[in-house]
């Protein structure tokens, strides 16, 4: 199993340095490490220019983008470049996702020990840890309900098995078969941020099974959590998950999910949050992608600084 790494970074140089050291320490070194710099302004470009020339167990490459295209644009560009390189499997992760030193060895051993499974598998993924717990939201299944369908995290008991099937993965510790990506296509770059991984996984699922291998570990910083204050992030998370539902699960499940999102906004008692969520639901129904003219990175409600 030949593995190439695609790592997307933006203005987190300290985390990037720590993460790159972990790839150098892999007990099964990757064939290459490709860092996609999303137009960072914290010195990442200078660091990567020097890093590429340093010796290491894997080929080192950096792709600097002319503007910040968000995580979605970064993974789109990185995977597109990876399809021109020579590894049969493409590993995806953020700059603050830290693989265990034996992560690649564990996945390669699983593939070697289970050829009957691998023949029909489009992707593998890891167990993700968030501080002291398993981060269940990274690996989900489609659950059919009287209201249609919804994405739900695989339950914790699944992680006691040698492997289990999922329908979606996050781009944190996902290992994609290159030939399956060529058929499924690239991630939706115009999502900008959030749900590009879930949407892409549902396309990959049509190419074969997606197996989670709990023995392979990735540790990821938790940046989630509900806030009553409106944020530009609310817009993209809501819009993109509703578009994903509508594309892959159906109009009715998307409508139900949108209604639940609006209820959440109303319960926050924040007029700003209601406006952001309403804009996201409206644009999801219209199929509007790209950056919103108002809800751009760094936007805050009036009076918040």
Please write the tens of the pLDDT for every residue from 199-218.
999 999 999 999 999 999 99
- pLDDT, mean of residues 63-74: 96
Question: Which pLDDT does position 148 carry in this prediction?
Answer: 82
How confident is the model over 158-171, as a mean pLDDT? Answer: 97
Per-domain boundaries in the chain: 3-220, 225-305
Q: Are 47 and 19 in contact (CB under 8 A)?
A: no
Gyration radius of the chain over CA positions: 19
Q: In this predicted structure, what is the pLDDT of residue 225?
A: 55
Region label for 92, one of left (φ > 0), alpha (ψ between -120 and 50) or beta (otherwise): beta
Q: What is the pLDDT of residue 168?
A: 98
Tell me how far the alpha carbon of residue 147 is from its chain's centroid: 27
- Eight-state DSSP code of residue 299: -
Q: What is the pLDDT of residues 31-59, one digit of tens each?
A: 999 999 999 999 999 999 999 999 999 99
Question: Would you state the structure tokens that stand for residue 3, as one six-digit string?
Answer: 């593995």
Answer whether residue 68 shows pLDDT above 60: yes
Q: From CA 163, how far away is CA 126, in angstroms rounded?
A: 10
The reported pLDDT for the residue numbered 305 is: 40
Percent with pLDDT over 90 in the chain: 87
- Residue 17 confidence class, pLDDT cut points 50, 70, 90: very high
Closest to 94 in 3D by CA, of 226, 196, 183, 178? 196
Residues in the chain: 305
Return the pLDDT at 304.
52
Q: Is the pLDDT confidence value at 269 over 50? A: yes
How far apart, in whole angstroms, are the C-alpha atoms of residue 298 and residue 13?
19
Q: How far apart are the C-alpha atoms of 29 and 57, rounded to whole Å?
A: 6
Three-point CA angle 42, 195, 263, nearest 5°: 110
Q: How many CA atoms lie within 13 A of 76 on its CB side?
A: 20
Work out the mean pLDDT of the chain and round it to a whole number: 94
Residues whose CB is less than 8 angstroms from the CB of residue 33 and which lie 6 or more positions away in sequence, other chains included:
4, 5, 7, 20, 23, 56, 58, 59, 60, 61
- Average pLDDT score over residue span 133-141: 95
SS3 content of the chain, % helix, strand, coil (to 5): 40, 25, 35
Render pLDDT for 94-123 as a digit per residue (tens, 0 to 9). 999 999 999 999 999 999 999 999 999 999
CATH 3.90.550.10 at 3-220, yes or no:
yes
In angstroms, the CA 218 to CA 23 distance is: 12
In the structure encoding, which two tokens stand for residue 44, read together?
């990442």
Tokens of 128: 């993700």
pLDDT mean over 83-104? 96
Please give the span between the terminal C-alpha atoms of the chain, in angstroms, as a whole number: 49
Pull the structure tokens for residue 213: 């291998």
Using pLDDT thresholds of 50, 70 and 90, give the confidence band for residue 145: confident
3-state SS, 40-82, equals CCCCHHHHHHHHCCCCCCCEEEEEECCCCCHHHHHHHHHHHHH
CA distance 121 to 163: 12
**Taking residues 235-259, what's their average pLDDT?**
95
Residue 265 CA to residue 271 CA, distance in Å, equals 8
Q: Is the pLDDT of residue 192 over 90?
A: yes
Measured distance CA(206)–CA(122) in Å, rounded: 9
- The answer, yes or no, to whether residue 149 has pLDDT greater than 60, is yes
- Model confidence at 226, pLDDT cuts 50, 70, 90, reads low
Residue 223 pLDDT level (bands cut at 50, 70, 90): low
Residues 136 and 60: their CA atoms lie apart, in Å, by: 32
């Amino acid at each position: 199993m030949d593995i190439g790494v695609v790592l997307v970074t933006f203005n987190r140089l300290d985390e990037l340095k720590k993460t790159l050291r972990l790839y150098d320490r892999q007990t099964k070194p990757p064939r290459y490490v490709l860092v996609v710099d999303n137009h960072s302004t914290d010195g990442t470009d200078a660091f990567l220019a020097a890093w590429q020339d340093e010796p290491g167990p894997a080929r080192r490459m950096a792709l600097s983008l002319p503007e910040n295209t968000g995580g979605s644009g970064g993974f789109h560009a990185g995977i597109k470049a990876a399809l021109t390189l020579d590894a049969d499997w493409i590993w995806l992760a953020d700059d603050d996702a830290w693989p265990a030193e034996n992560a690649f060895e564990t996945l390669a051993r699983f593939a070697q020990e289970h050829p009957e499974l691998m023949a029909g598998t489009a992707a593998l993924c890891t167990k993700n840890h968030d501080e002291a717990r398993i981060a269940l939201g990274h690996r989900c299944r489609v659950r059919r309900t009287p209201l249609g369908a919804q994405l739900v995290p695989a339950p914790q008991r699944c992680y006691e098995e040698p492997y289990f099937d999922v329908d979606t993965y996050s781009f944190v510790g996902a290992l994609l078969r290159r030939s399956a990506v060529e058929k499924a296509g690239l991630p939706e770059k115009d999502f900008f941020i959030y749900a590009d991984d879930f949407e892409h996984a549902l396309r990959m699922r049509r190419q074969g099974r997606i197996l989670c291998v709990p023995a392979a570990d990735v540790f990821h910083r938790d940046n989630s959590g509900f806030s009553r204050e409106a944020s530009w992030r609310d817009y993209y998370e809501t819009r993109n998950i509703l578009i994903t539902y509508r594309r892959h699960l159906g109009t009715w499940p998307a409508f139900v999910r949108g209604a639940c999102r609006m209820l959440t906004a109303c319960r926050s008692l924040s007029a700003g949050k209601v406006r952001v969520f309403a804009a996201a639901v409206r644009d999801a129904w219209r199929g509007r992608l790209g950056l919103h003219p108002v809800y751009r990175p760094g936007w805050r409600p009036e009076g918040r600084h």
